Structure formats: C-alpha cells, structure tokens
Amino acid sequence: RKEVEQDPGPFNVPEGATVAFNCTYSNSASQSFFWYRQDCRKEPKLLMSVYSSGNEDGRFTAQLNRASQYISLLIRDSKLSDSATYLCVVTRIGGFKTIFGAGTRLFVKA
Amino acid sequence: GAGVSQSPSNKVTEKGKDVELRCDPISGHTALYWYRQSLGQGLEFLIYFQGNSAPDKSGLPSDRFSAERTGGSVSTLTIQRTQQEDSAVYLCASSLGARGPGELFFGEGSRLTVL
C-alpha cells in the first residue's frame, strides 16, 4: 500500500463547478500536510498548507482529518486555469522526508 | 532571485553508461531533495539532505544510484550503468528547513532518456 493515496481522476468539470479531492495517508506519524499543483510538463508548486483547523485561500479550502487520516481539497467556482494535477503531500514527524501522492488530474471545460 | 537550477535539462544516454545530474539549490536553503517522476506518474522520493545530518537515502531504488551534496550547497545525483527503466524526469527541490521541511521549491528537472 502506498503511503499517500489519491484518486488519479481525471475529473472533468465545467467552469463554475465545485470539485473536491480526497487523499489518504497511512503513516499515523505524519506531521505536516500540503497540496501542490503541477501543470503539464512543469515542476510542482505549493498551492496551500493544510492545518488541523482547516484553512481557506480564496476559492480553495483544505481540510485535515487526523482520526481518519485523510486530507481534502475543495475548489469552488472552477476556472479554466485550474486545470492541472493536484498533489497531496505529507511529511513525517521528526524528519524532513516528504512524500507525494501520485496526483489527481483536473480538467475544467468551458 | 535565482531559483533551483538543474542541469542538464535533457540527457540522452545509452544503456550501461553512467550519468550525473546536478542541482544548485536556492541560496540559504538547508534542505535538498531528489525525486523521480516517470511519464504520467507521481513523484517518487529518492533522497534528502538536511544541514550536516546524514542523508536519508531510503528512496534510492538500487545501489546504482547515489547522491552527494558538497559544502551544503550543490548536489549531484549519479546513476551508474543506466537501464531503460531509469528514463524519467529527475526533480530537485530545496527548502529553508528551519524547523521542518516547509515549502519545497523545485527546479525544472532533468529529463533522462536511456536508449
């Protein structure tokens, strides 16, 4: 079993739709959580950190459920420019090892 | 300011040859990571360096892979006796590493093709 698992998609949604991605992690000693975005043939870039209390950045909302060991990302009012692969990222307590999920592909259509 | 720089951006080699990939992290970043990404796949952790600590090599797929970081800055990933399955994009990232990994800043990657 992979340490970080995501639904690979693709998710095909129309502009303006709301879409949600989930990610599960298997190591209960995980400490920090992030969502990264990767455009086609580009390097990943940080989208947002994920905090226990949940956090929001504009149209993006991230949630963490430690008891169930999953992380979610909600995108409201999808834009064409949101089309990308969204990577769930987990780091371990007491170290720097940073594990990426395989990513969820999103296509937003006009 | 300069970001993470990787070279070469593209490398085509023959099976059995050795290759070296270079990463120049952001100045002042103490943590440096190498990942591998095969076509259409996620990022596979290879190794990380943090300050003067021993590197975490737990992701290196075989003893043909090695990496070093000289002077706490530039890193070189070496693949010996390359195989076709080594073909991938090798991504380097660095982070401040003050109290944890924090945000990783990636280079554009080195695309390796083994014929």
State the DSSP code for B54.
P
Of the partner residues A31, A46, A101, the one whose CB lies closest to the CB of residue B42: A101
Give the model confidence (pLDDT) of B50-88 as tens digits. Answer: 988 899 999 999 999 999 998 879 999 999 999 999 999
In the structure, what pLDDT confidence band is assigned to residue B1 with cuts at 50, 70 and 90? low
- Determine contact, residues A45/B106, Cβ cutoff 8 Å: yes
pLDDT given at position B48? 94
Q: In sequence order, which residues have a C-beta less than 8 Å from that of residue B15 and are 6 or more positions away?
A: B82, B83, B84, B114, B115
Q: What pLDDT, on the 0 to 100 scale, is given for residue A2?
A: 84
Residue B41 pLDDT grade (very low, low, confident, very high; cuts 50, 70, 90):
confident
Phi and psi torsions of B9, nearest 5°: -75, -30
**Who contacts A58 (Cβ-Cβ below 8 Å, separation ≥6)?**
none
DSSP-derived letter for residue B27 is T
The answer to whether A98 contacts B109, with C-beta atoms less than 8 Å apart, is no
User: B11 falls in which pLDDT band (50, 70, 90)?
Assistant: very high
Kindly list the residues from chain B whose CB atom is less than 8 angstroms away from the CB atom of residue A96.
31, 48, 50, 56, 95, 97, 100-101
